[in-house]
Amino acid sequence: MTTSVTGLTKRYGSTLALDHVSLEITSGEVHALLGHNGAGKSTLIKCLGGGVAPTSGVMTVDGTEFASFDPRTSIANGVAVIYQNLSLIDGLNIAENLFLGQEVTHAAFVLDRVQHRELAQESLARVGLNVNPNTLVGELSIGQRQLVEVAKALQRNARLLILDEPSAALSKTEAERLSELVLGLKADGIAILYVTHLLNEVMKLADRVTVLRDGKNVWFSDMSAGVTKDDLVEAISGESAGAISRPHPIAADAMPALSLSDFGGPGIGPITLDVKPGEILALYGLVGAGRTRLLQTLFGRLPTRSGTVAVDGEIVSHSRPKKALSARIALVPGDRAKQGLFGSMSALDNTVIRTMGQLSRGGIRNIVAERTVFDRVSDRLSLRPKSEVLPAARFSGGNQQKILIGRWVNDRSDVKVLLLDDPTQGVDVGAREEIYRVVRELAAERGLAVIVATNEPDEVMSLAHRCLVMQKGKVVQEIDVATTTAEKLLALIHVDAVPVP
Amino acid sequence: MTISLRQRLIQGLVKNPLLVLLIVMVVAVQIATGSQLNWPNLRGVLLDGAVIAIVAIPGAMLIISGYIDLSVGSTLALGGVTAGMIMEGGTGNPALAVLAAIGAGVLVGLFNGVVTTYFGLNSFIATLGALTAVRGAAQLLSPLGRSTFGDAFGFLGVGTLVGIPVAVIVAAVLLILAALFLRFTPAGRHVYAIGVNREAAYLSGVNVKRIPFVLFVVSGGAAGLAGAITVARLNSAPPGQLGVGFELVVLTAVLLGGVVFTGGEGSMFGVLVGVLFLGLLNNALTLLGVTSFWQNVATGLALVAAIGIGAYIHVVRQKIESAQAARLAEQA
């Protein structure tokens, strides 16, 4: 069986998430899909899974075109996507999850529990999971849940299994077991599309490789042609388009704007570091390396367990977000929709949600001053469209990010330490460069200490003065960005690293 | 950015579809009944509506911020009985009676506020419990009820200033203050922010506990005040009957007025329209000679229809906004 995608294009407003992408996956092969965040991998797998309808293009199974683009059609065509956020129901047991929506019944109503258990046991044996099918899914580890999800897909006759960064959250042993399973399924004639950041996995598992960049196919090869990790690194990062912009120079003798000493929280630290005014520091590492945790702890979202935080040389309290803000520390969270935006509220309200209190007189808003703040900051960040009244949810990802940056860095804010968590997640390529420019300029103009958590080498290169490599909640290496390259950074975490338990 | 009058009108109607229905209904009733909807009749509608509005104002704000107060019917009874105990026989101080009624309501509000915001209990469940408990408290306080409160206190219920019932003036003032609060104070905007995205509000330094807490206290106080007005009007305070089912009437008016049950959206203008619609619908049906059983059927269906229309308009609005955003982005 061959599933193929031809000329697949997905347009979001003025952004092309996928630009005539083609791909072919056949039974009994592991096809690796590589690319940076935002390269179009997740849009592509969502199209295959039926979660997103492409703007144009065709998907076929053995030459027969998909009749429509929805999850039902994809399942009927044997396509199963195992997303990173698994779709199992914690409160049901394994057997119930496996049969959800396809229950075996007596006389159309009464569940046949005996048959459920027997069939479930068979499915679990196939994925090598030795657990009682009556166990609640909520009690399983992430690795076990993933296996249940694979079993569920197989039970529904999946012939193309799409795995979205399946090892990202697994321990080393679990990841190894998963690799064995993938090879076993391949031997059984299942087609596997394997999305990953880890090049070691590609070398070990893949038969063919497709690399996406900026929504386009940029590289394809059969692994039997003697592909090396260096080839993959080069294909993913691509030729750097001319000279990449670098951050503005900083005064070497300045007092640090932010100092952490022996700083630690749940799963991170102890970490000691200084950031000078105007300096941009990258925390670089894979998902789960503790980058996000460090920022959330520093902002008071997670509890601090040890050490001190000083802003401009003064030790500050940051036990809650409100206190962190008073200490002039601000966070632009990685999950914009959940932790940042007020989706149905206007761009103006979103921008001045904190500033409006400082501008108000006698408890009454100073709307004129708020407008001035919005006007200046939206010009400064080239917000598009520049509209006060449009709800924040209606802006593109890049412009939502600008609104959130503007919330903390505007004419009336006193923020000294700006924490950016994965700032270009879900931001298209054009807006990405603009956000880098804005952050570089703001850092220099206002003497901000900026910490950027990222897993994108290009982001480190375009933004940071210094780069700290994180692994298992600790800083394992410091890198002078001026003397490194994106390729070296990519190789550093993606080739040598083992997944963090 | 300038918006033409026509666009403003369209936007206004999209936001308040019920207003159109309201106007159509009034005109239709006028024609059908030959102008029976006159001032004395309307005054009755407004007086009923005023009591609902006083409680619906903080009630709507609670729903906007993602909470709900179901205890208001019993709190109304508690407030009414408290005022009645002071005024029985017409010898007490009317001002003191009103303050005591509000105070009794505030106590209930404090309880609701502490339990839901500081202990984090689900407000639906906590105030459902309070609904029953407070009813019992009112009955314990005065098992047989009180009556005959004198003219001075009765003024609150039936008196008028320049021809307008006192309670209507109170409701109108509160409504305007609440609308100004929501629009022109940071705390007012925070009410929406908490309802739209509590986590983001917390991470933006908004006090996500204090604002709902204060709203619960105000809601209790408002229900107490509504209790004083109600017993002043009835000239009696039966603890078992006062405000039974009132919380659902308030909720119906608030939801009719376009306040979104899951929080984050709604306005005081909407609450006004919702209260008026509810009152005028029942009044229209009475004038048309429809029995109260059929009135219940009509009111219930109106709520379901209003929510359905609201949901549909929400989808249309999102499409309009997206198109607007795309257009603006291209111009830039």
DSSP for A256-314 reads PSEEEEEEEETTEEEEEEEE-TT-EEEEE--TTSSHHHHHHHHTTSS---EEEEEETTE
- Predicted pLDDT of residue B299: 86
- Predicted pLDDT of residue A17: 83
Q: Which long-range contacts (CB under 8 A, 24 or more apart) does A94-102 make?
A: A94/A120, A94/A124, A94/A131, A94/A132, A94/A133, A94/A134, A94/A135, A94/A137, A94/A140, A94/A148, A95/A119, A95/A120, A95/A133, A95/A134, A97/A137, A97/A148, A97/A152, A98/A123, A98/A133, A98/A148, A98/A151, A98/A152, A98/A155, A102/A156
Locate B183 and state its tokens.
């629009």
Omega cis (within 30) before A270: yes
Q: How far is CA A218 from CA A20, A35, A39, A233, in A?
A: 11, 10, 10, 13
Residues 156 through 195 of chain A touching chain B, CB cutoff 8 Å: none
Separation CA A355–CA A467 (nearest Å): 32
User: Of A353, A345, A409, A354, nearest to A377 (Cα)?
Assistant: A409
Question: With an 8 Å Cβ cutoff, is A248 touching chain B?
Answer: no
Residues 271 through 310 of chain A touching chain B, CB cutoff 8 Å: 299, 301
Q: Which of A394, A402, A404, A412 to mutate to test the interface with B (most CBs of B within 10 A)?
A: A394
Distance from CA of A167 to the nearest CA of B (A): 29
DSSP state of A392: G
Asked if B69 and B59 touch (Cβ cutoff 8 Å), the reply is yes
Write the CB contacts of A380 (distance below 8 Å, at least 6 apart in sequence).
A406, A438
Interchain CB contacts (distance < 8 Å): A and B: 101
Asked if A338 and A370 touch (Cβ cutoff 8 Å), the reply is no
Please report the beta strands in chain B, taking only residues with DSSP state E, as ranges in sequence order: 146-147, 160-161, 164-165, 236-237
- Predicted pLDDT of residue A107: 63
> What does DSSP say about strands A105-106 and A110-111: parallel, antiparallel, or unpaired?
antiparallel
> Measured between CB atoms, which of B184, B202, B328 is closest to A385?
B328
Distance from CA of B310 to the nearest CA of A (A): 15
Q: Which of B177, B189, B202, B330 to mutate to test the interface with A (most CBs of A within 10 A)?
A: B189
Instruction: Determine whether the interchain pair B186/A357 forms a contact, defined as Cβ–Cβ distance below 8 Å.
Output: yes
- Predicted pLDDT of residue A239: 55
Instruction: Determine whether the interchain pair B201/A388 forms a contact, defined as Cβ–Cβ distance below 8 Å.
Output: no
DSSP state of A94: H
What sign does the CA torsion over A13, A17, A22, A24 have? negative
- Counting as low any pLDDT under 70, the low residues of chain B are 1-4, 11-16, 328-332
Chain A CB contacts of B201 under 8 Å are: 342, 353
Question: With an 8 Å Cβ cutoff, is B262 touching chain A?
Answer: no
User: Of A240, A245, A237, nearest to A464 (Cα)?
Assistant: A245
**Is the full-model pTM beyond 0.90?**
no
What sign does the CA torsion over A191, A197, A201, A202 have? positive
CB atoms within 10 A of CB B15: 16
- Predicted pLDDT of residue A501: 35
Distance from CA of A345 to the nearest CA of B (A): 8
Question: With an 8 Å Cβ cutoff, is A24 touching chain B?
Answer: no
Asked if A499 and A172 touch (Cβ cutoff 8 Å), the reply is yes
Chain A CB contacts of B200 under 8 Å are: 338-342
Mean pLDDT by 10 residues, chain A (501 residues): 90 80 93 84 90 90 89 89 83 87 68 80 89 89 88 89 84 84 93 88 92 88 86 74 70 88 90 94 87 94 94 94 95 92 94 92 92 94 88 87 94 93 80 87 93 90 92 90 84 57 35
Q: Which of B2, B194, B197, B327 to mutate to test the interface with A (most CBs of A within 10 A)?
A: B197
Residue with tokens 């670089």: A284
User: Of A316, A347, A349, nearest to A330 (Cα)?
Assistant: A316
Distance from CA of A388 to the nearest CA of B (A): 9
> Measured between CB atoms, which of A325, A343, A390 is closest to B196?
A343
Question: With an 8 Å Cβ cutoff, is A392 touching chain B?
Answer: no
User: Of A45, A4, A44, nearest to A24 (Cα)?
Assistant: A4
Give the DSSP H/E element, type plus range, for residue B78. Answer: helix B72-87
Edge-to-edge strands, sheet with A268-275 = A268-275, A258-265, A306-311, A314-315
- Predicted pLDDT of residue A306: 93
Q: Which of B196, B202, B259, B330 to mutate to test the interface with A (most CBs of A within 10 A)?
A: B196
Question: With an 8 Å Cβ cutoff, is A390 touching chain B?
Answer: yes
- Tell me the angle at which helices B268-287 and B39-64 cross, rounded to the nearest 10 degrees: 140
B198: closest chain A residue by CA = A339
Instruction: Determine whether the interchain pair B204/A395 forms a contact, defined as Cβ–Cβ distance below 8 Å.
Output: no
- Predicted pLDDT of residue B1: 44
Q: Which of A320, A353, A400, A413 to mutate to test the interface with B (most CBs of B within 10 A)?
A: A353
Separation CA A117–CA A96 (nearest Å): 9
Instruction: Determine whether the interchain pair A342/B197 forms a contact, defined as Cβ–Cβ distance below 8 Å.
Output: yes
Instruction: Determine whether the interchain pair B189/A394 forms a contact, defined as Cβ–Cβ distance below 8 Å.
Output: no
In chain B, count of helices (H) and strands (E)? 14, 4
- Predicted pLDDT of residue A243: 53
- Predicted pLDDT of residue A500: 39
A328: closest chain B residue by CA = B205
Instruction: Determine whether the interchain pair B325/A339 forms a contact, defined as Cβ–Cβ distance below 8 Å.
Output: no
Q: How far is CA B86 from CA A446, B151, B231, B307, in A?
A: 64, 14, 12, 42
Edge-to-edge strands, sheet with A417-421 = A329-332, A417-421, A449-454, A280-284, A466-471, A474-480
- Predicted pLDDT of residue A499: 43
